[in-house]
Structure 1
Amino acid sequence: MTVTSRPWDGAAVGQWLDHRIQAARLDQAAADRRGYEAQDDYDKAAAEEWVCRALQAGGKADDQAAFALHVKSLLAREEYRTTGIYDDRRFDRNVRATLRRIAKMTKANEGFENRLRYQRPA
């Protein structure tokens, strides 16, 4: 863990996860309406929703070290099971990318204040 100038805010992390789940669900609905050519977008949004739900269900957002360990344990999994996706390998790849992005955010303790629907990848 790096030493940051501001303290870890577990409530902000929880709110960020809530907002990302809502945004991912909206992105899935939009991709579903666009049809076949948007299957990759659907899987990417489904992966983000899966990650945020898994992190939220862990209940470790109040402690930075515990949250980072939870992200690391999810990254160590062999595969990620879910239904309703188009391509399992693409979904797994997007889950890992999302987990790595959240791991960087956790380590730096920044980015959780951004609650916009569309976010630039880090």
Structure 2
Amino acid sequence: MTDGSKPWDAALVRRWLERRHAASRLDQAAADRRGYEARDDFDKAAAEEWVCRALATADCVNDQAAFAAWLKQLVAQEEYPATGLHDDIRFERHVRTYLRGLVKMTKANEGFEKTLRHQ
């Protein structure tokens, strides 16, 4: 998948997923407190949480090619079951956008070292 410049680091990817999951939970709580005008922010954070939760439990994180294949399979899904959302269509759009970003990160093997809360 990559040019071989740096090896796939599954532990780094798992740590990145864990930190993004925690950040998305905080973002959801902040959007919920802001109320009606922050509905899109809430759905966006919920989408990030859904993706991170789905990927954190997957065994394919150990292999870059398998991880990329799993991401593509998730992108191709028609529905992403979740509750407590404001707009299901907007949520699904955010999930696909987030997954596509992860596909690019996985293909390039870059970005997983950025673990700050706000990206």
Q: TM-score, normalised by structure 1?
A: 0.95
One-letter code of the match for 2:55? L
Q: Corresponding residue for 2:12?
A: 12
Displacement, 1:3? Answer: 1.7
One-letter code of the match for 1:97? T
Displacement, 1:59? Answer: 1.9
Within a 5 Å distance, the mapping from 1:45-56 to structure 2 comes to 45-56=45-56
How far, CA to CA, are the matches of 1:36 and 1:96 in structure 2? 24
How far, CA to CA, are the matches of 2:107 and 2:62 in structure 1? 14
Q: Unpaired segments of 5 or more residues in structure 2?
A: none
Q: Report the aligned-residue RMSD.
A: 0.7
Q: Unpaired segments of 5 or more residues in structure 1?
A: none
How far, CA to CA, are the matches of 1:80 and 1:6 in structure 2? 33
One-letter code of the match for 2:68? A
Indicate yes or no: 2:95 matched with 1:91: no
Indicate yes or no: 2:61 matched with 1:61: yes
One-letter code of the match for 1:54? A
Identity across the alignment (%): 65
How far, CA to CA, are the matches of 1:4 and 1:33 in structure 2? 45
Displacement, 1:91? Answer: 0.1
Q: Corresponding residue for 1:77?
A: 77
How far, CA to CA, are the matches of 2:73 and 2:3 in structure 1? 22
Displacement, 1:4? Answer: 3.4
Kindly report structure 1 stretches of 4+ aligned residues shifted beyond 6 Å.
none
Displacement, 1:117? Answer: 0.6
Displacement, 1:43? Answer: 0.2
* Conserved? CA contact 1:4–1:109, under 8 Å: no
Within a 5 Å distance, the mapping from 1:102-113 to structure 2 comes to 102-113=102-113
Cα deviation 1:29-73 (Å, max 9, x = unaligned): 000000000000000000000001111121211110010011011
* Conserved? CA contact 1:31–1:42, under 8 Å: yes
Q: State the aligned residue count.
A: 119
How far, CA to CA, are the matches of 2:11 and 2:2 in structure 1? 20
> Which structure shows the higher helix fraction?
2
